[in-house]
Amino acid sequence: MLSIYKNNCFMKKVIINPGCITCGTCEFIAPEIFEITDVCRVKKDAPIEQCTDTINRAIAQCPVQVIEKQD
Ligand code: SF4
């Protein structure tokens, strides 16, 4: 049986690997997912599965490519 999943809905987890330069780009693109305090972090209870498009955009725009999604 063929199943079609819209917007990569298997994305379950987003992590930020070492090397973030706290530029703020991901927070600007997806403020419901990322927050910057002294470091950049994924918000507790972030609605990851509802925001796959903006997360993918943040991943693409991160200047040091440290955002990683895990399906
Ligand atoms: S876009 Fe990348 S470097 Fe910039 S704050 Fe987010 S994780 Fe850090």
Domain boundaries, the chain: 7-70
Give the phi and the psi of residue 68 in degrees, each rounded to 5: -130, 135
Is the separation of the CB atoms in 61 and 25 below 8 Å?
yes
Residue 67 near ligand 1, beta carbon < 6 Å: yes
In the chain, which stretches have pLDDT less than 70? 1-10
Cβ neighbours of residue 1 closer than 8 Å, sequence gap 6 or more: none
pTM of the model: 0.84
Closest ligand 1 atom to Cα of 27: 6
**CATH class of the domain defined by 7-70:** alpha beta
Residue 64 near ligand 1, beta carbon < 6 Å: yes
The per-residue pLDDT for 70 is 87
The per-residue pLDDT for 11 is 75
